[in-house]
Copies of this chain bind each other. A is one copy, B any other.
Amino acid sequence: MKIAVLGTGMVGKAFADRLVGLGHEVTVGTRDVAATMASTEPDRRGNPPYSVWAGDHPEVELATFAEAAGDAELIVNATSGNVSIAVLEAAGRDNLAGKVLLDVSNPLDGSAGFPPTLFVKDTDSLGEQIQADFAELKVVKALNTMTAALMVNPRQLADGQHSVFVAGNDPQAKESVTDLLTSFGHTDVIDLGDLSTARGAEMYLALWLRLAGALHTSHFNIKVVR
């Protein structure tokens, strides 16, 4: 499948790497291709700049948000929650029309320090805000409840014996995303319901952050035991 991954951070790179490994045609979208490739600074976590990663991944294309989205059958929103809507605007409505958006972002607000709070919650969610702003997209919230490595390689942990959630208004779009998650190795995909249920998946982040602190690792996930 032709897939656009919006975002050049840890999450975007994890998706691009995994998706090309599964045989997909992947274009990573960025605001300014030249600037992204020119950057020689490690990111905040000390990871090498995108250009170094790109050198190791010649099969992954880099393009503007608009070019990446325009070519794609499925789009992954791997941007920070606070810029997601601006990124989708930059991608352009014509390039989004009718497509599935796998939204893995979280509405984290780190402006007051750690742990971050959520800039939307309880009576609304970032997934719903994106859907409300871009009616032409079929938004499916998923994977936001775990660290990037586990999103795309769940078998790294307990042979994949943990759970992932999908929420969205379009049953076919949820099916496409569920198929993708299964291809990643997820074994327990729970359909929470329509996109309003993304409120639950996003608010879980508050617990995820405390668990990461208590366990001193982000390499964990929850399994829904029933």
A residues whose Cβ falls under 8 Å from a Cβ of B: 117-118, 121-123, 157-158, 161-163, 165, 167, 190-193, 197, 199-201, 203-204, 206-211, 213-215, 217, 219-226
Contact = CB atoms under 8 A, between A and B. Distances in A.
15 contacts: A118-B122, A121-B122, A190-B214, A192-B211, A193-B214, A197-B213, A197-B214, A200-B206, A200-B207, A200-B210, A201-B207, A201-B210, A204-B204, A204-B206, A222-B224
Contacts of A165: 207
Contacts of A208: 200
Contacts of A192: 210-211, 213-214
Nearest to A226: B220
B226 A157 contact: yes
Nearest to A190: B214
A163 B225 CA distance: 10
Contacts of A158: 225
Nearest to A116: B122
Contact of A226 (B190, B193, B209, B219): B219
B193 A225 contact: no
Given A191-B214, A197-B210, A203-B204, 12 more contacts: A121-B121, A190-B214, A190-B215, A192-B213, A193-B213, A200-B207, A215-B224, A215-B226, A220-B226, A221-B224, A222-B225, A223-B223
A224 B200 CA distance: 17
A207 B210 contact: no
Contacts of A214: 190-193, 197
Contacts of A220: 224-226
